[in-house]
Structure 1
């Protein structure tokens, strides 16, 4: 009888181990073949939403095979390793954890799905809002998962919430900076002084906005450094958003030589003004080209106008093109650009050098005569 029981025990252990190995093998088959085949099919049919859901739940489903296999294996195992009520709590908690994990991964796809949904509903939503929605969704999913697991283990959630209420004041004082950064982020999202991808300048930093979180905003400087600025700082600083410019200013003085005749100067001014008016990338609302002043070494023409583009690279291209066209006009009119000059008169014994040379010449002539 003992031999039969011993034999049955080993049979049950073998069945238990076989069930676990079977589900581990099914997990391998799913990962290697089934998952890739379904994902490839969805991508070919361009079912992007279903593909995103499948990708989000890939790792939780892998572990689902292990958990189900372990649960079934324990049913055939001849010994009670865990009490039945504890076993139920553990496996229910693990299932909730897997669902929470999958939903957490899926919430990241809001960044892709939310704009499309808003476009279909004809609702204009700024890109700056999407990271906040993603992070709020993740927070809600995690809190719900923890709450369900806590209730499964008979933890008093109401007592926990009451405890938070009693310690709320101390928590608020300890997390003052965090709270101010959070509300700073809310102000940035609601007022929208900038969005992701904008070029901004503040007293703290200048660069392109890369990301906005509950606590801070990440800005990539033109030196490619990543600067993290607290939202409370940004919310209280003046912000220049260069990306919101409708046009971009160019203003400078062009100095020509004093030997330039009046009629040439007038003609040059008119031709430069006409060139700017005809230029396809110059804003025609404000074009000023005027003979402005008599400078120390030059006659200065003042140019003030705006480009129709605002991106820095295109702006520089237009500025370069205008400079080359001005050089062509100067060459055509025979006008030279002035450079700083200075006339130096050196005196010797109260006489200028030129007067000394004249006196020496007269003395030589007198001696020869």
Structure 2
């Protein structure tokens, strides 16, 4: 009974919706397209590896970004060959053609979208030759702008060419919803204008440390809608441009020096000559080699020498006020310098027999005769 069956005929003459349907050809074409995509990807990876070893970053990116779109395009090509063997109804044929057009369009725009990174590399090379930081901030904005434009162009192309819709009519329909969309887009437009203000006013640049609304960190990216700040704790904070462009921002990265104010406290039983000696010790230590240089810098033509004074009586100590400006403002160098200064002050005070004060309280017992006398004198005055 099986010998009387024409298996080839069953495959070739099988019908779907009353029409001949060549399943083997379709499946074979899809498999061949998939295999061709895998082969092309392997060849492109070899090319990328070769270019990478020869230090060709731009060409490396061009071929690396081609791998995914090439696989999709070859798979779509196999599907095209397979569907060409079928005899379908008009609705199915229209659906198939639009699907293929969508796949080819997606592959092409995918590749062009990825090539924006190549443009970014080229622009970074150009900006590296200039001293202006404005160029460095423009590169990320140009990259994002190009990608937004490409996405819009892709959407218009698909609507117009693939789905055969009137783009003008679609835009007019969207215009009917203009009022609610306008309210929704108000914040977006505010952020875009904020980006323009930041770009041209330049209150900060990428890589600079700022303090804003309690956040203390380094600028990692300036975008159209927001900036990204990496805080000192390692967290990434996103701040809308509209807010940061209209409020006060403390730019720590542009300070000319780091100011340190220090209160050295000594005990109340320190005699006058020892107080004067303590002040002189502080002034002498600040003039020692290895400590003096970074705190006697000239900033914008002005000199800021360190200063030491016996300036106040604290409730539990005599206060010696010390202030200096450390330059250049490199934080860890400043901290290391502060440690050396602290150790030298401690060493010299120990040699001179000058005691540091610490918070204390004087307590009087009820039976203390001195306390009793004080109470009697107070009562007599009253």
Counterpart check, 1:67 vs 2:80: no
- 1:329 is matched with which residue? 348
> How far apart, CA to CA, are the structure 2 residues paired with 1:320 and 1:55?
52
- 1:34 is matched with which residue? 43
Counterpart check, 1:300 vs 2:319: yes
329-338 or 309-318, which deviates more:
309-318
Relative to structure 1, is the Cα distance of residues 85 and 270 closer, same or farther in structure 2, using a 3 angstrom cutoff? same
Deviation sequence 1:101-121 (CA, Å, 0-9, x none) = 122223245554422122246
Relative to structure 1, is the Cα distance of residues 167 and 204 closer, same or farther in structure 2, using a 3 angstrom cutoff? farther
- 1:352 is matched with which residue? 370
Contact 1:255/1:300 (8 A) holds in 2: yes
> How far apart, CA to CA, are the structure 1 residues paired with 2:175 and 2:105?
27
Relative to structure 1, is the Cα distance of residues 108 and 203 closer, same or farther in structure 2, using a 3 angstrom cutoff? same
Q: Give the Å deviation of 1:139.
A: 0.5
Q: Give the Å deviation of 1:228.
A: 3.1
- 1:46 is matched with which residue? 55
- 1:195 is matched with which residue? 205
> How far apart, CA to CA, are the structure 1 residues paired with 2:96 and 2:70?
20
Contact 2:267/2:318 (8 A) holds in 1: yes
> How far apart, CA to CA, are the structure 2 residues paired with 1:97 and 1:261?
86
Q: Give the Å deviation of 1:46.
A: 0.7
Q: Secondary structure at the match of 1:125?
A: helix
Q: Secondary structure at the match of 2:196?
A: helix
Deviation sequence 1:82-129 (CA, Å, 0-9, x none) = 677765554344322212112222324555442212224666435443
- 1:182 is matched with which residue? 192
> How far apart, CA to CA, are the structure 2 residues paired with 1:123 and 1:210?
18
- 1:362 is matched with which residue? none
TM-score normalized by structure 2?
0.78
- 2:158 is matched with which residue? 149
Q: Give the Å deviation of 1:271.
A: 3.8
116-125 or 61-70, which deviates more:
116-125
Q: Give the Å deviation of 1:352.
A: 3.3
Q: Give the Å deviation of 1:41.
A: 0.5
Q: Give the Å deviation of 1:209.
A: 3.2
Relative to structure 1, is the Cα distance of residues 332 and 240 closer, same or farther in structure 2, using a 3 angstrom cutoff? same
- 1:137 is matched with which residue? 146
Contact 2:40/2:70 (8 A) holds in 1: no
150-159 or 164-173, which deviates more:
164-173
- 1:206 is matched with which residue? 216
- 1:282 is matched with which residue? 295
Q: Secondary structure at the match of 1:175?
A: helix
Contact 1:247/1:306 (8 A) holds in 2: yes
Alignment size in residue pairs: 349
Q: Give the Å deviation of 1:49.
A: 0.6
Q: Give the Å deviation of 1:248.
A: 0.9
Q: Give the Å deviation of 1:224.
A: 3.8
In structure 1, runs of 5+ residues without a counterpart are 356-369
Relative to structure 1, is the Cα distance of residues 25 and 194 closer, same or farther in structure 2, using a 3 angstrom cutoff? same
Q: Give the Å deviation of 1:13.
A: 5.5
Relative to structure 1, is the Cα distance of residues 70 and 268 closer, same or farther in structure 2, using a 3 angstrom cutoff? same
Relative to structure 1, is the Cα distance of residues 70 and 333 closer, same or farther in structure 2, using a 3 angstrom cutoff? same
In structure 2, runs of 5+ residues without a counterpart are 1-5, 14-20, 298-302, 374-382
Counterpart check, 1:291 vs 2:310: yes
Relative to structure 1, is the Cα distance of residues 123 and 52 closer, same or farther in structure 2, using a 3 angstrom cutoff? farther
Q: Give the Å deviation of 1:348.
A: 4.5
> How far apart, CA to CA, are the structure 2 residues paired with 1:46 and 1:18?
40
**Selected match of 1:237 from 236, 247, 255:** 247
Relative to structure 1, is the Cα distance of residues 158 and 283 closer, same or farther in structure 2, using a 3 angstrom cutoff? farther
Contact 1:257/1:336 (8 A) holds in 2: yes
> How far apart, CA to CA, are the structure 2 residues paired with 1:123 and 1:229?
25
Deviation sequence 1:143-184 (CA, Å, 0-9, x none) = 111222222143222333444555444421232222222322
Q: Give the Å deviation of 1:307.
A: 1.8
> How far apart, CA to CA, are the structure 2 residues paired with 1:130 and 1:334?
62
Counterpart check, 1:79 vs 2:97: no
- 2:108 is matched with which residue? 99
- 1:367 is matched with which residue? none
- 1:359 is matched with which residue? none
- 1:338 is matched with which residue? 357
Deviation sequence 1:297-320 (CA, Å, 0-9, x none) = 433221011222435444333322
Relative to structure 1, is the Cα distance of residues 204 and 66 closer, same or farther in structure 2, using a 3 angstrom cutoff? same
